[in-house]
């Protein structure tokens, strides 16, 4: 029992560390301190436009948990703190963000479990500081995998890039996928669609910063009822198909097919829910099990790649499944007849 108590206390300290990390990320404290190099509390609070009393207590706590180092009254980033800076290469910011999102969703699941309520995706944006971080968390978590593994190994991207055309991202978040895809593919145009205004505002600003506003645009729309002014060459959905699945998968897939040009392609990226429950015990897939609980709150559930592929085949499309990250991530490519 003493070993079990020790393990739980260590987990609690880990949660507190990530909580402090989240506060620093959400309020720009790591970024501000990186810019200052070393600073007293007063200077850090001023640079981050935060209340000095809160910053003082945060600095002491962040020092206690190893996120900051101190030289007298001057604080600087530790190795862990620097890794949480959103601007650092391969930032670990998403770890802190996901930890806080998990706690928020766990609280909501604990409440809704009593009466079976499933209030939808809006529950993710109930917390003022969490919503703006959602897009950056996904970008930080998955952009490297996309750039290094997925994009180079899906022939359809090279095919579309060579001939040019319109790429549509449904459930685009902050637009990171389209920015990554269009960066080195000048013949492509992009349209991002998302149901949340905050995501669209963020996506437009980031596209402008990247110098892509001339060929990358974003619109707010319910994914269930999206409409395109022109047929698409490629429609992408990244960890978003499961958000519309329960409302009528076959009807939605028919909408996707009909929104494509002849020979056009849909690329669906989803975590691949395992057939064997025992796989959920592996560290890499434990997060799937927790996510599936929080998806239930939103009216969703995670999907198996084979059931997605079957649904597209039933709609008369040719299908291939590509797996990445040791099989945890699947991209289902479905082509409309030419």
User: 149-177 pLDDT, tens per residue?
Assistant: 999 999 999 999 999 999 999 999 999 99
**pLDDT score at 225:** 87
Phi, psi of 320 (to 5 degrees): -130, 145
The answer on 201 and 313 residing in a single domain is yes
Distance between CA atoms of residues 92 and 35, nearest Å: 18
- Please say whether the beta carbons of 73 and 31 come within 8 A: no
CATH of the domain at 245: 3.40.50.150
Would the pLDDT of 2 be above 80? Answer: no
* Whole-number average pLDDT of the chain: 95
- Distances in Å between the Cα of 287 and the Cα atoms of 31, 226, 274, 295 are 28, 30, 12, 12
**pLDDT score at 88:** 85
The answer on 162 and 79 residing in a single domain is no
Per-residue pLDDT reduced to its tens digit, 86-105: 988 889 999 999 999 999 99
The fraction of the chain above a pLDDT of 70, given in percent, is 100
The answer on 244 and 326 residing in a single domain is yes
> Does residue 111 lie in a domain region?
no
Per-residue pLDDT reduced to its tens digit, 237-255: 999 999 999 999 999 999 9
Per-residue pLDDT reduced to its tens digit, 276-313: 999 999 988 999 999 999 999 999 999 999 999 999 99
- Please say whether the beta carbons of 220 and 195 come within 8 A: yes
The answer on 208 and 76 residing in a single domain is no
> Does residue 99 lie in a domain region?
no
The answer on 162 and 77 residing in a single domain is no
Distance between CA atoms of residues 271 and 292, nearest Å: 11
**Boundary (domain end) residue, out of 31, 59, 87:** 87
Residue 95 Cα to chain centre, angstroms = 11
Would the pLDDT of 39 be above 90? Answer: yes
> Does residue 119 lie in a domain region?
no
The answer on 62 and 191 residing in a single domain is no
CA angle 247, 248, 253 (to 5 degrees): 125
> Does residue 303 lie in a domain region?
yes
| Arithmetic mean of pLDDT, 268-272 | 97
> Does residue 103 lie in a domain region?
no
The first and second tokens of residue 322, run together, are 């590509």
Assign 338 a pLDDT band (cuts: 50, 70, 90): confident
**pLDDT score at 214:** 95
Distance between CA atoms of residues 168 and 317, nearest Å: 18
> Does residue 176 lie in a domain region?
yes
| Arithmetic mean of pLDDT, 114-125 | 92
**Boundary (domain end) residue, out of 35, 60, 87:** 87
Is 217 in a helix, a strand, or coil? strand
Burial class (CB in 10 A: 0-12, 13-18, 19+), 82: middle
Phi, psi of 179 (to 5 degrees): -60, -40
How many domains are contained in the chain?
2
> Does residue 106 lie in a domain region?
no
220 beta partners: 194
The answer on 47 and 135 residing in a single domain is no
Domain that holds residue 211: 130-335
- Distances in Å between the Cα of 212 and the Cα atoms of 143, 161, 190, 203, 205 are 18, 16, 9, 11, 10
Distance between CA atoms of residues 124 and 143, nearest Å: 21
Per-residue pLDDT reduced to its tens digit, 173-195: 999 999 999 999 999 999 999 99
> Does residue 104 lie in a domain region?
no
- Please say whether the beta carbons of 220 and 200 come within 8 A: yes
């Amino acid at each position: 029992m003493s070993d079990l108590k020790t393990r739980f206390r260590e987990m609690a300290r880990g949660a507190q560390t990530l909580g402090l990390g989240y506060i620093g990320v959400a309020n720009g404290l790591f970024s501000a301190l990186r810019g200052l190099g070393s600073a007293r509390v007063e200077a850090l609070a001023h640079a981050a436009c935060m209340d000095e009393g809160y910053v003082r207590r945060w600095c002491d706590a962040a020092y206690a948990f190893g996120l900051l180092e101190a030289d007298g009254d001057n604080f600087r980033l530790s190795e862990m703190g620097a890794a949480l800076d959103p601007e650092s290469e391969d930032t670990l910011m998403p770890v802190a963000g996901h930890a806080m999102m998990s706690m928020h969703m766990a609280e909501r699941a604990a409440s809704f479990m009593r009466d079976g309520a499933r209030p939808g995706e809006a529950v993710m944006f109930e917390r003022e500081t969490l919503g703006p971080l959602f897009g950056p968390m996904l970008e930080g978590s998955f952009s490297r995998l996309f750039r290094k593994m997925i994009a180079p190994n899906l022939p359809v991207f090279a095919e579309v890039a060579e001939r040019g055309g319109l790429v549509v991202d449904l459930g685009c978040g902050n637009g990171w996928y389209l920015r990554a895809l269009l960066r080195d593919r000048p013949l492509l145009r992009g349209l991002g669609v998302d149901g949340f205004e905050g995501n669209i505002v963020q996506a437009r600003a980031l596209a402008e910063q990247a110098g892509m506003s001339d060929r990358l645009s974003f619109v707010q729309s319910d994914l269930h009822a999206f409409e395109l002014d022109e047929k698409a060459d490629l429609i992408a959905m990244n960890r978003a198909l499961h958000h519309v699945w329960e409302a009528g998968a076959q009807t939605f897939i028919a909408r996707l097919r009909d929104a494509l040009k002849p020979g056009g392609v849909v690329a669906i990226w989803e975590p691949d829910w395992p057939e064997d429950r025992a796989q959920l015990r592996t560290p890499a897939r434990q997060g799937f099990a927790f996510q599936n609980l929080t998806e239930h709150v939103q009216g969703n559930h995670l999907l198996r790649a084979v059931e997605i592929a079957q649904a597209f085949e039933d709609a008369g499309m040719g299908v291939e499944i590509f797996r990445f990250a040791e099989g945890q991530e699947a991209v289902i490519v479905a082509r409309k007849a030419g």
